[in-house]
């Protein structure tokens, strides 16, 4: 994890693991890599071009033995190089992998720092780059000569005859001088037994092939695929590296420009994504008429044909497995009563009436299509004879409608009269009490007010407790009770709503009681699984069973 001294987490903060990618912090951009833990043994890495503008702390948590942390950094310099590289460089050889340039040419912004060669005795430091042709022809003045054994009058002595092969071909290796026993006069090699072994010089390590090795691309492991199925992307880290002094250092990428850079991204596909499959056709509608529901079986199926969890498929593309279904109106036929026994007029012409309804799952006066258009007559004429001298109700004219549109009411005056030859005598209403009084109020309709929403009663709830649903039929009807599309959709009543959301209350058994005062001990000891204790402490064991479904009998 990477965090600033101010406490701000940059990568993997607050015990949360971030995905590999680029994260800004410390004044630079960090590239976070986390190779696949199964297919790669490489560890996590942070890489930034820098420079940083604050102190950053790296935190590590491990459950296995500490694998340690490997870190590298680049120090920018003004074309500097260590003195031993200058001392061992041959004229015409490249310096730091680059040929020398004229003094007027600007040098590279950054060079590899070199370790101080112990054999030269020079102190660590840096010197300006010396152009070809300016190298000194003599050994440095601070070069310490090898200590020679004192000369003695002996016939044989030790002589350096060469050096071992350099351990590397570039990037600073090491080699050692080779000493053989020779004749002092003829310088011919003789067996080592002729020389004093105590005077044989100890080979000292010498640096060799100090010029940097050619830069190369260091290719990291591929990251995890960005998708668990289907076509995704994966990334890997590509660094320009150079070897010097048995260390591999990261250098700027232009040093590798002579090489083709490998791809840092690639497409990947771990497996074919699972897909939704409709396993069955729609079931029959849940109601024979009206609005109900129907279902079908929808499963998430892998590319091998196995049924897997729904999370393996794209939930946004899941087909519906339940939908409403409209089986049409529930009308069956026209129903009507017998004609009324009494004529509407005590004398003269009148009418008799009957009620006519279209019978559905409930009595409805809507002109539903199922009953047809041949509505039976609701009135029939009748005549009980001449009206001379008879008492009857007399009704006046209707007033204006109470509304300008839609349904309203009208009023009229109704009086009791006796009809004589050409006249009417007004009587006390009591005189007509035995007669059916005409209505003094009626509904009226002047013009349509527009379409309105009509709905049926709610259906029975699908569940009696713990949340169910109920449905009803909603239709837009015009003033003449015909289907319309002119209703405001925002005012449409709900067709489905939840119901009976209360918890299911278990039935109380009056015979279920505790026979002992310490039944709480039986519950704590989990003895309710046994028939004896379940009966003896019935109430306590039942309460536990209701709180913990599945508790009883779990042995």
Q: Give 20-41 pLDDT, tens digit per residue.
A: 888 888 889 999 988 776 566 6
Residues 247 and 219 in one domain: yes
Q: Is residue 304 part of a domain?
A: yes
Q: For residue 447, what are its two tokens?
A: 């013009």
Do 231 and 218 form a contact (C-beta atoms < 8 A)? Answer: no
What average pLDDT does the structure give for the chain?
77
Q: Is residue 88 part of a domain?
A: no
Residues 394 and 434 in one domain: yes
**pLDDT at site 62:** 75
Phi first, then psi: give them for residue 55, nearest 5 degrees: -75, 130
Residues 421 and 460 in one domain: no
Q: Is the pLDDT of residue 363 over 70?
A: no
**pLDDT at site 483:** 83
Q: Is the pLDDT of residue 152 over 50?
A: no
CATH number of domain containing 285: 2.20.100
Encode burial over 89-125: b for 16+ CB neighbours within 10 A, e otherwise: beeeeebbbeebeeeeeebbebbbbbeebeebebeee
Cβ atoms within 10 Å, residue 456: 19
Q: Is residue 488 part of a domain?
A: yes
- 538: enclosing H helix or E strand: helix 538-547
Q: Is residue 250 part of a domain?
A: yes
Among candidate residues 36, 58, 80, the one where a domain is terminated: 58
Q: Is residue 459 part of a domain?
A: yes
Q: Is the pLDDT of residue 240 over 60?
A: yes
Q: Classify 266 in phi/psi space as left (phi over 0), alpha (psi -120 to 50) or beta.
A: beta
Q: Is residue 410 part of a domain?
A: yes
Q: For residue 352, what are its two tokens?
A: 């008799």
207, 347, 415 from 435: Cα distances, Å: 137, 11, 12
| DSSP per-residue codes, 333-366 | EEEE-PPPSS-S-SSSEEEEE--EEEESSSEE-S
Do 116 and 84 form a contact (C-beta atoms < 8 A)? Answer: yes
Q: Is the pLDDT of residue 82 over 80?
A: no
Residues 395 and 437 in one domain: yes
- What's the rounded mean pLDDT across residues 260-265? 92
Domain range for 179 is: 166-208
Q: Give 289-345 pLDDT, tens digit per residue.
A: 778 899 999 999 888 888 888 888 888 889 999 999 988 766 566 777 888 888 887
Residues 231 and 189 in one domain: no
| Nearest CA among 394, 398, 383, 388 for reference residue 351 | 383
**Which range has the worst mean pLDDT, 37-51, 78-92, 342-356, 389-403?**
78-92
pTM of structure: 0.29
Q: Is residue 385 part of a domain?
A: no
Residues 179 and 223 in one domain: no
Among candidate residues 270, 286, 314, the one where a domain is terminated: 270
Q: Is residue 555 part of a domain?
A: no
How many domains, in total, are found in the chain? 7
């Amino acid at each position: 994890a990477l965090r600033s001294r101010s406490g701000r987490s940059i990568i993997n903060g607050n015990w949360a693991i971030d995905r590999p990618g680029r994260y800004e912090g410390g004044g630079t951009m960090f590239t976070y890599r986390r190779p696949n833990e199964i297919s790669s043994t490489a560890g996590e890495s942070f890489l930034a071009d820098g420079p940083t503008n604050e102190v950053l702390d790296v935190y590590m948590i491990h459950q296995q033995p500490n694998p340690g942390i490997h870190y590298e950094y680049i120090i920018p310099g003004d074309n500097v190089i260590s003195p031993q590289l200058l001392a061992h460089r041959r004229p015409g050889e490249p310096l730091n992998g680059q040929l020398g340039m004229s003094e007027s040419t600007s040098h590279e912004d950054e060079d590899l720092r070199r370790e101080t060669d112990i054999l030269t005795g020079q102190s660590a430091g840096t010197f300006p780059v010396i152009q070809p042709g300016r190298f000194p022809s003599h050994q440095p003045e601070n070069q310490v000569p090898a200590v020679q054994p004192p000369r003695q009058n002996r016939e044989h002595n030790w002589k350096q005859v060469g050096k071992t092969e350099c351990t590397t071909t570039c990037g600073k290796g090491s080699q050692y001088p080779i000493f053989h026993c020779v004749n002092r006069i003829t310088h011919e090699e003789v067996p080592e037994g002729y020389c004093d072994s105590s005077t044989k010089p100890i080979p000292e390590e010498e640096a060799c092939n100090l010029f940097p090795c050619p830069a190369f691309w260091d290719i990291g492991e591929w990251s995890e695929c960005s998708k668990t199925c289907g076509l995704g992307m994966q990334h890997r880290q590509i660094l320009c590296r150079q070897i010097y002094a048995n260390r591999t250092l990261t250098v700027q990428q232009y040093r590798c420009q002579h090489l083709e850079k490998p791809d840092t991204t690639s497409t990947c596909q771990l497996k074919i994504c699972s897909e939704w499959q409709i396993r069955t056709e729609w079931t029959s509608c849940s109601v024979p008429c009206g609005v109900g529901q129907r279902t079908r079986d929808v499963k998430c199926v892998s590319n091998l044909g196995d049924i897997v969890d729904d999370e393996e498929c794209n939930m946004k593309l899941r087909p519906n497995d339940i939908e409403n279904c409209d089986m049409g109106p529930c009308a069956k036929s026209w129903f009507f009563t017998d004609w009324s026994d009494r004529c509407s007029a005590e004398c003269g012409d009148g009418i008799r009436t009957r009620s006519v309804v279209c019978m559905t799952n409930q009595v409805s006066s809507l002109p539903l299509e199922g009953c047809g258009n041949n509505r039976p007559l609701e009135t029939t004429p009748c005549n009980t004879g001449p009206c001379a001298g008879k008492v009857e109700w007399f009704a006046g004219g209707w007033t204006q409608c109470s509304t300008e549109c839609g349904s309203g009411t009208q009023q009229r005056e109704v009086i009791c009269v006796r009809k004589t030859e050409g006249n009417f005598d007004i009587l006390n209403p009591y005189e007509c009490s035995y007669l059916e009084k005409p209505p003094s109020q009626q509904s009226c309709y002047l013009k349509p007010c527009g379409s309105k929403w009509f709905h049926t009663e709610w259906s029975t709830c699908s569940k009696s407790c713990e949340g169910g649903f109920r449905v009803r039929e909603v239709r837009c009807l015009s003033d003449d009770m015909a289907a319309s599309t002119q209703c405001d959709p925002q005012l449409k009543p709900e067709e489905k709503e939840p119901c009976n959301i209360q918890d299911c209350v278990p039935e109380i058994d009056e015979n279920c009681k505790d026979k002992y005062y310490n039944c709480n001990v039986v519950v704590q000891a989990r003895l309710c699984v046994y028939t004896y204790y379940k009966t003896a402490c019935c109430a306590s064991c039942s309460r536990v069973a209701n709180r913990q479904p599945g508790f009883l009998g779990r042995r």
